[in-house]
Structure 1
Amino acid sequence: MTLSAPFAAMPQDAAGHFRLALLGVAGRLAELAAGEDRVGLLAACPFLAEYQAEIDRLFGAACPGAEAWRRAVEAWAPRLPPTPLTALRRAGLATLDVDLLLTIGLVEEDPRFAALLAGDDGARPTLGVLIGLWRGHGDADRPEAVRAAVLNLLQAGLVLVLNPDAPRMAWRLAVSPALWDALGDACPEMRLAQRIPSESLTPLSAFIPPRGEAVEQPSWTALPDHLARQPGRLIVVRGPAHNGRKTLVGGVARALGLGLLRIEAAGLEDEAHWRLCGALARLWGVMPLVELALVPGESRTLPSLPLWDGPIAVVMGPTGGVACADGRPILTLELSAPDAQARARHWREASPGGAPAERRRLAEDFHLTSGAIRRAAAAAEGYAALDRRADLTADDVRQAVRGLHDARIETVAARVRAKGGLGRLALERTARLELESLIARCRHREALAVAAGDGPGAAGVRALFSGPSGSGKTLAAQLVAAELGKDLYRIDLASAVSKYIGETEKNLDRAFAAAEDLDAMLLLDEGDALMARRTDVGNANDRYANLETNFLLQRIETFRGILLVTTNAAERIDKAFARRMDVVVPFRAPDEARRYEILERHLGDHAASDELLQEIACRCALSGGQLRNVALHARLLALSGDRPLDDEALRSALLREYRKTEAQCPLKPAVSAG
C-alpha cells in the first residue's frame, strides 16, 4: 500500500484534517497507556475499540501503529488548503505541542476520555497525568519537554488552567470551547468578540475618504502593501465614532487576505480572553480589531499576543493613548468627519433613489458622520414611505436623526424641544443682529473654516448668551436651534458633575463627542458653574477644580459642533472661555417698549385694556420670564372663571407675581386695588 492510499474517503478540508489528527492522538494515547497490556486497557476503556475501528477503516487496512498513521497524515495534508492545524505549525508549534493540545481537548470531543486522562478525581487532564503519559514518547524519557510544551500552550492562550491555585502538577487543563470549535473549522459564538470573514468586508476601493476630491487624500491603498512588508504593527485609526474607522480597517484586512476579529474593549480586562483572541486570529487568519473610547488623560496598553505576528488594529477617538506591551511599532491614521462632498457621496450610497439636488442639500444641512448617515437614511426612507413618497426630504432626515439615540449624551443631557423663530423674541436691535449673525455662522461654519485655512474639521461654533435671569437667553437658544433645524440638548449639571476625580471630564467628553457625531447642538445653561475663573491652588479641591476648567477649555476649542452657553454672571467666567467664544450676545433687562411687546406676545387674544398694559410696562420693571408668568396666570384665571382675559385677571396675576418675590407692586393704587 502506498502512503497516498489511506484517507481516500476523507474530505480534503480543515474538518477532515482535524479529525485525522484527533484520531492519531487517540491511537497514540492508547499505545502509551496500554504499554504491554493492550487487552487490559480495552477492558477498562472499551470505547477505544470504536476509535481503533475508525482508524483501520480510514487507513484502508489494519493500521500498524500511531507512527504509521502520522506519516500517512503528513503525506495527505499537503494537498489541503490552509487549515487551523497547519496555521499552528506555521506559528512555530512543534509536533509535541499540537499533540498535547489535542490530548487536552479530547474530553471536549468525547467525555469518555476522562477515564483515561483525568483519573478518579476530575474530568480534565492534569499536568502530572500528561507528563506521565507522554514522557516516554520517542526515543528517550523527556518529562521536561512535556512540561515545557504545556507551558508554551498556556503562554500562547491555547490552554486554560481551571485551578490555578493548585500545585502545578495538579493543574487541571482545558481547551476553550471556542478554540476547540475553531480547530475543527467551525465558527463558534464568542463572548466579547465577533469574527467577520474577509469576503464580508467592504473592499478598500469602495471606502469613501472624508475629504472631497479637490482636497489631497491620504493614500489608503498603500496601507496593505506597507503592512505586507512590515506586518507586526499596531494600526491606530483615530476619529469620531461611527465614521468609517472599522470600514477602513476592514478594507485593509481584506486587501491582505485577512478577515477581522472585532474584540470589545472589555475583552482587554481578561488577559486569558485576549490571548485566546490572538490564538483564534492565527487559526482563522483574521486581524484583531479593538474599539476604545478613551477620554483625555486615559490610556490603555494591549497585552502581547504570542501566536499572532500580524497587524493589530485599534479604532478610537481623538483623545487618549494606546500602546502595546510587546513594543510593536505604531502607525496612526487620522480619519476626520466627512466634508460636504463626502457626505453627499454617503447619501448617494445610502439612498441611491434620491434626487441629486436633495442629497446635496442634506449633505450641507446635516453634518453627520458616515455611519449616522447610513442609519438616518434607512430610518428616513421609512418616514417617506409612510407618506407615500420615494424621495427623502429634510424633514424625514430630521425626524430620523432625532431617533438616533446615543446613550453617551442622553445620560447627561436632555433634549429641549422648540418651535418658531426669532420673531418670538422681543429683543433690542444689537442682540437680534448678533443672533442673526450666529445663525448665519452656524449655517456656513464648514465653508468658513475652510476659507480660514482651518479645514472643515475645525468648523465648531461657540456662543455665549449673557444677561440677567429671565431675559430670554434659554428661549433664544431654543429658537436658534429651531431656526437651524437641529436638536438642542441641555447638559444636566447634576448628572454631568461627579464627586469622583476625573468622572466629570469623562461625562462631558462623551456628551461633546456624541453631539459631534449626531450634529446636535449643546446648551450649557448657567455655564458659569463650570467655567468659573481658575484660582490659586490652596488645596486639593482648588487643584481639581482647575483641572476641570482646563479640560473644558481644551474640549470647547476642539468641539466640531455648535455650543451655546448661557450665564447671568458673566463676570465669574474665566477670561479664557470668553476669548474662545465666536459670538457673544448680550441680553439686557427689557425696557418699557419691550415689556409692552412681551406682554402683548404672551397674552395672545385678550380683553385687557391698552391703558393697563401701558401702565404695567411703564411701572413694573419685570423680566421677560416674569412677564410670561403673569400672562400665563392671567390666562389660567380667565379659563377657570370661564371669562375673557380682562383687566381684573391681569391685575390679579401681576399682584401674585410680586407676592412670589415678596416685593411691592408699583402700580398706582387705583389700578392695583382693582
Structure 2
Amino acid sequence: MEARLKNLTEGLAALEQWVRYRLAELLGQGHKIEVEAVRSRLAGLELLPGQRLPFEENLALITVLAPHLRSDFFDRIFAEVLPQNGDYPSLGGLRGTQFRGFIPTGETLMFLLAGRDLKQRLFLKQLFEETHLFSREGLLYLDPAPPGEPILSGRLSMPSEIVSLLMSGVAEGPRFGIDFPAQHLTTDREWDELVLRPATRDQLAELRTWLTHRNHLLNEWGMGRVFRPGYRALFHGPPGTGKTFTATLLGKATGRDLFRIDLSMVISKYIGETEKNLEKVFSRAEHRDWILFFDEADALFGKRTGVRDAHDRYANQEVSYLLQRIEQFSGLVILASNLKSNIDTAFMRRFQSVVHFPAPGPEERYQIWRRLLPTQVRLEHGLDMRALCRGYELTGSNIMQFALLQTLSRQSDVLQKTDLLEAIEREYQKEGRSL
C-alpha cells in the first residue's frame, strides 16, 4: 500500500507540474520546467500493478484519476494560474450532476499531451482507438459527445473496478444496480459437490474444455479465422434443478467471474433502454473474461408472434441487438430457461451446446439430501431417506431447510421422518399437488 501511495503522490505532483507548464504555454508566459524530467517521472510510474506504461498513457490515467483523489485538483490550479472571468475552450472539461469539480474530457487530455500541435493531436488520436491498450483492456474510454459536438468533448471515463485497481491495487467488481444490471455470483461449494445425471455432466465437460483450451484453439492453432468468437450455451430444465448453481461452479472451477443478468428485470418499457442497459454489461465483460449468465431467457427469446404494434417492433429490435452482441462476445454466454420449448427455434442454431437439467431421479435426490445434512445431525432410528426419495418427486433444498429448522425448534439434533414429510407436504401444496 505504501508503494501505491508513493506512486499516486508522485503522479499527482508530476501532473500538476505538467498542467502548469501547459497553462503557461497557453497564456504565452514563461514557466520553468524540466520537460524531459517530468516526462520521465510520469513514464516511470507503476500506476497499473506490474506495468510501467509510456508517458502518454500514464498521463492519461493520472489525469482521469486526479478528481477521484483530490476533488479540487484542477480547479485549484486554474484559480491560481488563469485570469478571472476568462474562457478557455482548449482546456475542455465539464461539471458533473453532483460532483462540482472539473472533470477532464478528451479535449483536456489532448491539451495536456499536444497543446496546439495539430500533427501531434492527430497522432495521439490512437489513444481512443479500439486497438489501443485502453480499449483492449477496458482501462479508459471516451464517452460519446452530444450529437453535433466535437468527439473530444466527451468525458474521459474509467470503469469503477479500474479506479479501485489504480487507487488500492485491488480491482473491486462493479456493484449491481440500475447502472449495472448484472449480479456477481460466487459460491463456497466445490465442483465435486454438484449432483447431476451423467448425461448432463458430460455436456458440461464440453464447456469446461472450451474454457480451458480456447486460447490454444483460436490463437495458437489459428482457428480464430474460422470459428466464431465465444461460446454460447443454453441451460434448460425445471426450477430448482441446479442451472444457476452449475453456472456459478463453472466460473469458480475455471477461475472466471460469473455475472447473472435477469432479462425480465433488464427489459425496459422505454425504447432503447434495454440495449443501453445491456451494453454496460457487455462492454465490461469482454475485457475481463467474465462468464455471462442470462436468467429467464424466455423474456426476450420466447416464441415470437406477429408484429402488432410499436412495442412488438422494438421488442424485435432488442432481440436482434442481444443476438448480435452475444455472437460478438468472445467469452462464454449461458442462457437459462425453464422450458426448451419456450425458446424460439430460430435461436436454437446459435447455441454450441444445449444442456438439459432434468428433475433429479431418486438417487440424485438422495445424494442432494445427504449432502445438505449437517454432520451434527443424526437421522431418527428407522428413517429411510432412500425410500422417501423414491416416493416423492421433488428437487428442493427447501425441504431439507424446513425439516432442519423443525429439528432445531425442538432443541434436538435428530431429524425425524415427520419433519421431512411435513416439508414435502408444504412443497406439494406450493405446486398445487397433493400427497
TM-score range, shorter chain: 0.5 to 0.7
Cα deviation digits, residues 450-509 of structure 1 (max 9, x gap): 335226996422211111222111111111112122222111335421111111112112
Q: Is the 8 A contact 2:229 2:327 kept in 1?
A: no
2:271 is the counterpart of 1:501: yes
Return the letter of the residue paired with 1:445. R
Q: For 1:540-551, what aligned pairs fall within 5 Å after superposition?
A: 540-551=310-321
2:153 aligned with 1:243: no
CA separation of 1:609 and 1:582: change in aligned 2, threshold 3 A: farther
Looking at structure 2, the residues matched to 602 and 545 of structure 1 have their Cα atoms a distance apart, in angstroms, of 42
Q: What is residue 581 of structure 1 aligned with on the other side?
A: 351
- Cα distance in 2 between the residues matched to 1:645 and 1:377: 52
Q: Name the CA distance, whole Å, in 1 between partners of 2:361 and 2:197.
A: 9
Deviations 1:517-557 (A, max 9, x none): 23222111121111123333333233222221111111110
Aligned residue identity for 2:400: A
1:56-96 CA distance string (max 9 Å, x none):
xxxxxxxxxxxxxxxxxxxxxxxxxxxxxxxxxxxxxxxxx
Cα distance change on mapping 1:586 and 1:452 into 2, 3 Å: farther
Aligned to 2:410: 641
CA distance in 2, matches of 1:664, 1:471: 21
Contact 1:237–1:245 at 8 Å: present in 2 too?
A: no
Q: 1:109 to 1:477 in 2, by over 3 A?
A: closer
Structure 2 match to 1:515: 285
Give the CA deviation at 1:406.
6.7
Is 2:388 aligned against 1:619?
A: no
Alignment of 1:402-441 (within 5 A): 403-405=172-174, 411-441=180-210
CA distance in 1, matches of 2:429, 2:285: 41
Aligned counterpart, 1:594 = 364
Point out the structure with max Rg over C-alpha. Answer: 1
Contact in 2 for aligned 1:528/1:570 (Cα 8 Å): no
Alpha-carbon distance change, 373 to 446 in structure 1, aligned in 2, over 3 angstroms? farther
CA apart distance, 1:610: 6.5
Q: Is the 8 A contact 1:439 1:484 kept in 2?
A: yes
**C-alpha offsets along residues 18-53 of structure 1, whole Å, 9 cap, x if unaligned?**
79xxxxxxxxxxxxxxxxxxxxxxxxxxxxxxxxxx
What is the CA-CA distance between 1:404 and the residue it aligns to? 3.9
- Residues 180 and 478 (structure 1 numbering): CA distance in 2 closer, same or farther, change over 3 Å? closer
Tell me which moved more, 191-200 or 421-430: 191-200
2: CA distance between counterparts of 1:247 and 1:498?
28
Larger relative CO (CA 8 A, sep 6+): 1 or 2?
A: 2
- Alpha-carbon deviation of 1:630? 0.8
How big is the alpha-carbon RMSD for the aligned residues of Structure 1 and Structure 2?
Answer: 4.4
Pairs within 5 Å for 1:333-344: none
* CA-CA distance at 1:620 after TM superposition: 0.4
TM-score (structure 2 length as normaliser) = 0.66
Deviations 1:260-279 (A, max 9, x none): xx98645x4695xx6xxxxx
* 1:529 aligned residue: 299
C-alpha distance in 2, partners of 1:247/1:594? 45
Structure 2 counterpart of 1:178, one-letter code: Y
CA distance in 2, matches of 1:178, 1:228: 21
SS in structure 2 at match of 1:177: coil
Per-residue deviation, 1:192: 5.1
Per-residue deviation, residues 625-653 of structure 1 (Å, max 9, x unmatched): x2x11111111111111112232322232
Q: How much does 1:412 deviate?
A: 0.9
Offset from partner CA, 1:400-444 (integer Å, 9 cap, x none)? 34x143789962112222122332222111101111221121122
Offset of residue 577 of structure 1: 2.7
Match of 2:218 among 423, 431, 449: 449
Q: Where do 1:371-410 residues align within 5 Å?
A: 376=165, 379=168, 400-401=170-171, 403-405=172-174
When the two structures are superposed, what TM-score results if normalisation uses the length of structure 1?
0.44
The amino acid across from 2:88 in the alignment is A
- Aligned to 2:301, what secondary structure does the other structure show? coil
The one-letter amino acid paired with 2:87 is: P
Deviation for aligned residue 1:515? 1.5
- Hey, what's the Cα distance between the residues in 2 that align with 1:432 and 1:610? 33
AA matched with 1:454: G
CA separation of 1:407/1:659 partners in 2, compared to 1, >3 Å: closer, same or farther?
A: closer
What is the aligned partner in structure 1 of residue 108 from structure 2? 195
Alignment partners' CA distance in 2, 1:244 and 1:291: 19
Matched, 1:607 2:376: no
Deviation at 1:290, TM superposition (A): 5.4
| Structure 2 unaligned blocks of 5 or more | 1-23, 31-81, 93-100
